[in-house]
Structure 1
């Protein structure tokens, strides 16, 4: 590794090595799943694209979020399903070492060589390091090898994602708390774990570590977990956590945190909770604080505002996708944004013939607009029971001024549910816009494998389908998807 430039006499000057400037048509900041999709789509009309990543190519989802968390959750879910199934022997406690080993396989042991190989095979150039703007379409990429000036001839796409938020609680930052990265890559299962938060990450990781043998306490500021979901969904997850021995404190106000030789002490208003580790899962914020945004007239630390083409208003060469925009917080929705932005860049800046061909192949120009970000975002929480929803909750719909009615159904009444387990429990709900002939604007499913039921609802919301039309989409028997027939019957069809 070079430590500094070498003069003609062969003496290391000790200054950082500066490499010759490199120029590309498009530079994408962030090599996670979102950035990869944006870079790939942008390159399809012949544009020369560079992908800049300072950590692991594949990003948060591959190594510290979606994939490892599901690897930790799946064994407990399989065990619980077995226990609910007559004729299947109770598998007993989980093999923690085997679960962690499988998690390591899923993350490829935090080795991104295969992802880097894909980048090369897609015709993209991978630049390893941290990028900062130095001016319009001008950046510097800093790494152990030195500083590399980079210029984008046409466009820059920011896909740097988000990072955990550490609340300003006395002593918290100094107590070396876990974030989601620490939890999903943990080499051991703590005997006692306190989880600060009540959202998706908090509920999933509380479920995972409880199934692996931790004594878990969850501190929720509000009056139920999953405050953004329908109330019945949060209540179901609360009941489930408590049934598996997790202590959930609602309305918790954390006053201070201190780590000592006995572990971590979390002081609430009226008690002190002690644990071996403390996981902070109180939300995330866009990773924009150290990108040099001030050099291009934007505010560091803030979300990057974009329009529905994922372009920054009044900055025709700048785009942003995924968490960094504040529009969405899921990998799948970020990848959707990335496909839109990449297509826009390819069509707008690609070679004339190729760009025209791309635009013609796209069909309606609406493909170049991320309209689903506003009312059709799907979300799954892999707790037990699973929670899955898309579109608007009843409250959000009414707050938006829609005249809606709600249709609910107890999933346990379905023949398909009884086949799965005699103890099957779950609930489903649709939110219907009565002013548009009961168009589906939102749906929520709670129950075993509820995630697998979500896409039909996503299609209904995106397609703005009325329930009267869905009545003709006959579900197979006996499946839990027969709930769509029961929705129609409950609504009076």
Structure 2
């Protein structure tokens, strides 16, 4: 419902109606609590309005050849945003207050949040406060580059027409997805990445595969460089390596995001922050009793599903008087380019830091299996790093069709301690891409069962070495 009782103390005041905030609001209301949901912009946050939903809609519109792809995307996005807003307005337990929130020091047994709204400032009293303000894109200044030519995820979907030439600065998820979309829409695409490879946090095999994919489609990938300056008169981007990109219509900055701390007055309320955002544990608890934080604003996750996962734990922390035990579930990553990229488990750096003798790596090219043959697949693979002897999944990465769906199998395996050894013999439909997982399990079992004592000894030796590293 719209509005609240300023004299009532609610179970919780939630600042931000993005993915984490909505999960908190619905979750606590399902436990029978009246809560206040505060939003100064649009319900749904970045994901619905300028992130996940419009970007995936654009990828679809580009692939199927919509006549007015950007207009179609906006209509799709606005429809969902309106439905989410309406749902919050009509909810019996959720009190929607529009405006920008500011924290105050705790007052007795409750917290007071000040909200600057369209009708002036109001107070919200609550036992608990959840900060879910999300994040904002990092925009780097480029000499000579006018603001009207710069795109971020916040304005790219407002374009009225497809740019002829677009430069994507950064080689991460945003640029990879938008390169796919604008390439399909007919734009000339350039990716400019300061590091030596695309998707620098991913497996190097991902980087080389995606570079090969893009270059095979006529896109140009500029690595180890950045834009030094822009010549507006000739619409030319000059790179630090001496190369130039001519006739540039738009420049998308996709180099990362930072927590949207804004004017929340966190310091005055005693809430500890760092450059990475609000300091919160895996239950969302901050340095102030009764103040929680979830989602991008904490730096604990940068994905919608990650924000939802942490928010569910925070709902439990507030609604259920149970011991706070148990680790959070593993959170997979997915990039919806063509082909898709998905990964889960330890980071590449964490795997590399482990003693090599205690782990093994298995790679299966999807082009080598029958489904890849029937689909004329050109690029795709599954790679897993596992613990020797047990087959425990350390990290898995997939590049290929439906990778975001397939990664769920490895996510479940990590969460429940299922290794490749236990997966041996599992039947997969024929012909399917999931058969590649079966081939990996077969390969692991063949190597391991033939020499169990040696495999056990190698694992034990590596574990001892890892302890000494620490």
| Matching of residues 224-263 of structure 1 within 5 Å | 224-257=197-230, 260=232, 263=235
One of 28, 51, 54 as aligned partner of 1:65:
51
Matched, 1:381 2:335: yes
Per the alignment, residue 371 of structure 2 pairs with 416
Q: Does 1:146 align with 2:120?
A: yes
**1:250-271, Cα deviation, whole Å (9 max, x unpaired):** 011332346x465474553413
Change (3 A) 1:468 1:301: closer
Q: CA deviation at 1:145?
A: 1.8
Partners in 2 of 1:256 and 1:464 — Cα distance? 51
Instruction: Provide Cα deviations, 1:292-324, integer angstroms capped at 9, x if missing partner.
Output: 1111223486511111211114x2201111111
Deviates more, 1:448-457 or 1:28-37: 448-457
What is the CA-CA distance between 1:448 and the residue it aligns to?
2.1
- The aligned residue for residue 442 of structure 1 is 395
- The residue aligned with 1:50 is 36
Aligned to 2:245: 273
Q: Deviations over 1:154-206 (max 9, x none)?
A: 11111111110113544568565211121233222111211111100011111
Q: Which moved more, 1:332-341 or 1:139-148?
A: 139-148
Mapped partners of 1:135, 1:214: distance in 2: 52
Tell me the residue number matched to 1:312: 286
Match in the other structure for 2:180: 207
Partner Cα separation in structure 2 for residue 478 and residue 384 of structure 1: 21
SS of residue in 2 equivalent to 1:486: helix
- 8 Å Cα contact 1:428-1:444 kept in structure 2: yes
CA contact (8 A) 1:29 1:52 kept: yes
Instruction: Supply the distance in 1 between the matched residues of 2:421 and 2:210 (Cα, whole angstroms).
Output: 32
Structure 1: stretches of 5+ with no match in the other structure: 1-18, 79-93, 349-358, 360-364
Pick aligned residue for 1:195 from 162, 168, 178 = 168
1:33-112 equivalences under 5 Å are 33-77=19-63, 94-97=65-68, 99-108=69-78, 111-112=81-82
Q: Tell me, yes or no, if structure 1 residue 129 matches structure 2 residue 99.
A: yes
Match of 1:453 in 2: 406
Residue 256 and residue 262 in structure 1: after superposition, are their counterparts in 2 closer, same or farther (change >3 A)?
A: closer
Alignment of 1:361-376 (within 5 A): 369=326, 371-372=328-329, 376=330
Measure, in 2, the Cα distance between the counterparts of 1:61 and 1:111.
Answer: 10
What CA deviation, in whole Å up to 9, does each residue of 1:8-31 have, x standing for no partner? xxxxxxxxxxx9666422001110
SS at 2:385's partner residue? strand
CA RMSD of the aligned region, Å? Answer: 2.5
Distance in 2 between residues matched to 1:336 and 1:118, nearest whole Å: 20
- Alpha-carbon offset, residue 437 of structure 1: 1.2
Correspondence for 1:406 among 356, 361, 371: 361
Could you say if the C-alpha distance between residues 369 and 118 of structure 1 is closer, same or farther in structure 2, counting changes exceeding 3 Å? farther
Indicate whether 1:219 and 2:219 are aligned: no
Gaps of 5+ in 2: 447-470
Decide which moves more: 173-182 or 469-478: 173-182
> What is the distance in 1 between the residues matched to 2:144 and 2:300?
32
Q: For 1:140 and 1:63, how far apart are their aligned partners in 2?
A: 25
Q: For 1:462 and 1:370, how far apart are their aligned partners in 2? A: 10
Distance 1:53 1:300, change over 3 A: farther
Distance of 1:195 and 1:128 partners within structure 2? 35
8 A contact 2:285–2:291 mirrored in 1: yes
Match of 2:312 in 1: 339
CA, structure 1 residues 302+425, in 2 after alignment: closer, same or farther (shift >3 Å)?
Answer: closer
Aligned-residue offset at 1:96: 4.1
Name the CA shift for 1:174/1:100 in 2 (closer, same or farther; >3 Å).
Answer: closer
- Matched positions, count: 435
Distance 2:254 2:417 in 1: 34
Further displaced range: 195-204 or 389-398:
389-398
Deviations 1:395-442 (A, max 9, x none): 4223266832111111122223223x13443111111022x7121121
Structure 1 residue matching 2:186: 3-state secondary structure: coil
Confirm or deny: 8 A CA contact 2:104 2:265 kept in the other structure.
Answer: yes
User: Partners of 1:251 and 1:452 in 2: how far apart?
Assistant: 33
